[in-house]
């Protein structure tokens, strides 16, 4: 891949997390970043709506050394459990490759008694199948290293989207039919491994040189490089990619860096109201909950990660603690179980929540002294927490919307102080959960991340 730099903060359009959940989901930015082995020695950008990570070190049968482990950055940890992945491809032919599949009989025959000849489409197909299998197992190993998959796993825990990077910088045969067979072998292996999707990244000229401009992959999406700006990237979304299939992602230049734009809307995860914004050093936070964009149709994994080297998570305020946390949202549920955060470093930590197919949710937590913060909560029952606001003016506008939704019920919203920095509109004073649940049904139409809390 030609663009090895990552996205700077200026390349992202960030939503303020204090907006009502419905507004945040409608306006979720579609910008992300891609990284690979050249970033192993550096720092990684702030998470965007999505992330793509290279699993190779530039060539097939070579592993990205910081995909799941490493003394510095760990790129899969940064990207999250639902990361999109890309693999480098090549078809060097029998004379140049030590991985050439001479004598292999499945999935196709290569240089066997039944199919003699080492430089054949069958051999190229097997080479591609084997290369994709090796890349996929590198990804599995990274998930195991992060404890996101159990030891001995043969599959990634989620159905990642995969991209095949097709460029003339790697070795290819002059025979475009063989090159096409190699790519077909890669596609077929990833499909056999239940990848969420498979697509192609390639400059148009490279695709023409390597494949002869084949239309054999016209049903597969394209990740298009080379846009000069975000507006140029948006314009390219409407044109077919090099495969002849739809354009799904566009890579573009931005302030001397490179970003990626998704051509399709991504449903968004969001931190539910009441999730913490402050925590004392070395102390367990208040519980944090992430809302899915819609109820899960099957058990869904959500991962919590942080950019702080001193940060850790648990499903209990008393631990045990780990540097990341994966929780399962049951089918038909729409939010995670509570998670707790603890950090031994003072400052600001960025928490990210990720899952497959959803835009990443991020939340900043101030780690330091938490004394001197006054809460307006005085009742001892249940409340419906609605949203967070950085200022009283924003909170007042949200309260007006809540009161309009509850008109005639005799209930009104108040503004609570949530930690040291946020204001939280809430409807309080419910003595039973049943009463709060009734109000929640009315409010969910406008505040789809509203939640019941015990006060």
Q: Give the H/E segment covering residue 354.
A: strand 347-354
| Euclidean distance between CA atoms 158 and 160, whole angstroms | 6
Cα-Cα-Cα-Cα torsion 182, 95, 54, 296, nearest 10 degrees, comes to 30
Q: Name residue, tokens 């197909």.
A: 125
CA 275, distance to chain mean position in Å, is 20
9-262: CATH, from 3.50.50.60, 3.20.20.80, 1.20.120.1200, 3.40.50.300 = 3.20.20.80
pLDDT of residue 421: 52
* Count of Cβ atoms closer than 10 Å to residue 97 Cβ: 16
pLDDT of residue 16: 30
Q: Give the residue among 252, 160, 257, 238 at the shortest CA–CA distance from 199.
A: 160
pLDDT of residue 26: 36
| Euclidean distance between CA atoms 102 and 158, whole angstroms | 33
| Euclidean distance between CA atoms 332 and 328, whole angstroms | 12
| Euclidean distance between CA atoms 142 and 80, whole angstroms | 12
pLDDT of residue 15: 29
| Longest pairwise C-alpha distance within the chain | 85
* DSSP for residue 288: B
CATH class of the domain at 270-367: mainly beta
Q: What is the mean pLDDT of each run of 10 residues along the chain (455 residues)?
A: 38 31 42 94 88 98 94 92 98 97 98 98 98 98 97 98 98 98 98 98 98 98 96 95 97 87 94 92 95 96 96 96 97 96 96 96 87 45 73 79 77 68 73 79 72 69
pLDDT of residue 171: 98
Domain residue spans of the chain: 9-262, 270-367, 382-454
pLDDT of residue 369: 65
- Here the contacts of 372-379 (C-beta below 8 Å, separation 24 or greater) are 372/420, 373/278, 373/417, 373/419, 373/420, 374/417, 375/416, 375/417, 375/418, 376/414, 376/415, 376/416, 376/417, 377/416, 377/428, 377/455, 379/428, 379/429, 379/455
Q: Does domain 382-454 have CATH number 3.40.50.300?
A: no
pLDDT of residue 245: 97
pLDDT of residue 405: 78
Q: Give the residue among 245, 264, 162, 254 at the shortest CA–CA distance from 207.
A: 245
Q: Which residues are 54's β-sheet partners?
A: 86
Q: Which two tokens stand for residue 6?
A: 């990552």
* DSSP for residue 445: T
Cα-Cα-Cα-Cα torsion 322, 326, 329, 331, nearest 10 degrees, comes to -140
């Amino acid at each position: 891949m030609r663009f090895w730099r990552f996205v700077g903060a200026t390349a992202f359009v960030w939503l303020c997390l204090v907006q009502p959940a419905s507004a945040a989901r409608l306006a979720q930015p579609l910008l992300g970043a891609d990284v690979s082995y050249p970033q192993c020695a550096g720092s990684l950008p702030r998470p965007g709506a999505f992330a793509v990570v290279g699993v190779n070190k530039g060539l097939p049968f070579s592993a990205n050394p910081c995909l799941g482990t490493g003394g510095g950055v760990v790129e899969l940890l940064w990207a999250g459990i639902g990361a999109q992945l890309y693999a480098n491809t090549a078809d060097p032919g029998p004379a140049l490759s030590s991985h050439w599949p001479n004598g292999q009989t499945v999935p196709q025959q290569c240089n066997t008694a039944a199919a003699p000849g080492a430089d054949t489409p069958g051999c190229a197909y097997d080479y591609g199948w084997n290369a994709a299998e090796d890349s996929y197992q590198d990804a599995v190993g990274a998930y195991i290293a992060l404890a996101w998959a159990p030891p001995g796993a043969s599959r990634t825990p989620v159905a990642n989207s995969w991209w095949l990077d097709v460029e003339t910088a790697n070795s290819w045969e002059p025979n475009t039919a063989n090159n096409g067979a190699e790519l077909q072998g890669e596609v077929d292996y990833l499909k056999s491994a239940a990848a969420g999707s498979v697509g192609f990244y390639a400059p148009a000229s490279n695709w023409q040189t390597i494949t002869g401009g084949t239309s054999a992959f016209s049903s597969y999406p394209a990740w298009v490089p080379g846009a000069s700006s975000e507006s140029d990237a948006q314009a390219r979304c409407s044109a077919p990619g090099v495969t002849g299939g739809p354009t799904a992602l566009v890579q573009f230049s931005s302030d001397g860096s490179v970003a990626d734009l998704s051509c399709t809307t991504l449903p968004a995860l969001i931190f539910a109201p009441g999730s913490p914004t402050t925590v004392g050093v070395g102390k367990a936070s208040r519980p944090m909950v992430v809302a899915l964009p819609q109820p899960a149709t099957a058990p869904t994994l959500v991962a919590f990660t942080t950019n702080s080297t001193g940060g850790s998570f648990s499903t209990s305020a008393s631990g045990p603690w780990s540097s990341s946390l994966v929780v399962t949202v049951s089918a038909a549920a729409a939010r995670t179980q509570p998670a707790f955060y603890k950090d031994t470093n003072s400052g600001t930590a960025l928490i990210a929540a990720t899952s497959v197919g959803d835009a990443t949710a991020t939340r900043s937590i101030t780690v330091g002294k938490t004394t001197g913060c006054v809460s307006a909560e005085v009742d001892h029952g249940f409340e419906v927490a609605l949203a967070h606001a950085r200022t009283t003016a924003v909170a007042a506008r949200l309260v007006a919307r809540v009161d309009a939704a509850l008109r005639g019920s005799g209930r009104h919203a108040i503004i609570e102080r949530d930690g040291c920095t946020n204001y939280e509109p809430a409807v309080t004073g419910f003595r039973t959960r049943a009463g709060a649940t009734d109000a929640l049904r009315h409010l969910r139409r406008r505040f789809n991340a509203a939640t019941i809390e015990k006060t």
